[in-house]
Structure 1
Amino acid sequence: MARVRFIGPEPVTVPELGGRTVEPDEVVEVPDGRFEGYVCQPGTWEPVEEPRAGDEAPVAPLKKTAAKPQKTEG
């Protein structure tokens, strides 16, 4: 789990954290896969501990289309 600090001016309720109320200057743990969703808001959150390498949520493999059948001579 990654950690971020809430730097907003007043407490907020964060639905993603189970509806928890986060106080100003409080450090909270967030899912590694959602870390960027918090720190991309620099006026509200600041990074404290980034996700560790290898701890990221698994990414679904890309789906590939089936190869086209080869033309048969006839």
Structure 2
Amino acid sequence: MARVRYIGAEPVTVPELGSRTVQPDEVVEVPDARFDGYVCQTAVWEPVEEPRDEKPIPAAVKKMPAAKPQKLED
């Protein structure tokens, strides 16, 4: 989860956070996917902790020699 600080002047109720009331200068956790939706409102939200890039790191692929073709008997 990402974190943002509410910098508005009055408390605000945020439906996306379960109708939670957020106080001025309070830091709250928001879903990573919605982080940009908060910080684009620069008059009321500022970033504190950006979303983590939680893409899995691909495992190394072990190269193996190709199998030898089987000989067919006539």
- TM interval, short-chain normalised: 0.7 to 0.9
Instruction: Please give the TM-score of this superposition, normalised by the length of structure 2.
Output: 0.72
Scaled by the length of structure 1, the TM-score of the pair is 0.72
Structure 2 residue runs of 5 or longer lacking an equivalent are 56-74
How do 1:1-74 residues align onto structure 2 when only pairs under 5 Å count?
Answer: 1-54=1-54
Structure showing greater radius of gyration is: 2
Aligned length: 55
Large movers: runs of 4+ above 3 Å: none
Structure 1: gaps (5+ residues)? 56-74
Instruction: Give me the whole-angstrom Cα distance separating, in 2, the residues matched to 1:52 and 1:15.
Output: 23
Q: Deviations over 1:45-74 (max 9, x none)?
A: 00000001126xxxxxxxxxxxxxxxxxxx
SS of alignment partner, residue 53 of structure 1: coil
